[in-house]
Structure 1
């Protein structure tokens, strides 16, 4: 019986379903639902939490921030932190994101409670967040 070899690059362009361990390698795009819930670790493997949500700039269409749930246990306690999405690096083999910071750093940056979000349309909140990351607000016009 002949074994057919798959050409995943061709499959991806056709819109047909593809399978196998390398079907989406290299990873270029992910759905929001596949990112939300992903673990976040630092380079030495410390658990920094999970991605709770994504903040999308409606004018540019870019993900500006990942909202990280840090310090909770079984969804109780902890705080949420807005992390510039550009600070995260995907580790596709381990199916998680890497943030190049330690746990103590997350304890020093502005966070918020799960039941009391900041005004996400207020530039001052994100300007404060970006001060800690050393990055300017991605699009100060919006």
Structure 2
């Protein structure tokens, strides 16, 4: 199922591929409802199914999306492995209505993961550094953004 199928409020009834000059209304694809994204498929650039989004982790103190929790492997929920994927490692594919993660399937099998009964402390900086290093992303630098915002005042 994809985000358009979960759109109970009708916010995606307009064209998500519209350009900036379009008069179409609606928030997507720049702003999307978190509830509509849970369950969305994640593929890689080789068209391999990597799983689906089980949860979206918000940094509530700083107002940012930090991670998508991706489910991969297993059968009927048994033996599945969960992965915290940095949000900035995902790209929304509005044509196929799914996310793309630029990671080979074999590499994902060896990614740092966890099971549903043993979640990591995602606020731990050491853990976050390991995750961002694995996916080749950079953690969000709140100090730089705050300095930039103060300079603009």
CA shift at 1:74, angstroms?
1.8
Which SS does the other structure have where 1:130 is aligned?
Answer: helix
Change (3 A) 1:131 1:18: closer
Matched, 1:93 2:95: yes
Residue segments in structure 1 that go unaligned for 5+ positions in a row: 1-16
**Deviation by residue 1:74-103 (Cα, 9 ceiling, x = unmatched):** 222121111111111111222111111111
Question: Among residues 119, 122, 132, which one is paired with 1:120 in the alignment?
Answer: 122
1:1-142 equivalences under 5 Å are 20=13, 22-26=14-18, 27-139=29-141
Residue segments in structure 2 that go unaligned for 5+ positions in a row: 1-9, 19-28, 144-153
Which SS does the other structure have where 1:28 is aligned?
Answer: coil
Q: Which runs of 4+ in 1 moved over 3 A?
A: 17-20, 22-26
Q: TM-score, normalised by structure 2?
A: 0.72
Q: TM-score, normalised by structure 1?
A: 0.77
Larger Rg: 1
Count of paired positions: 125
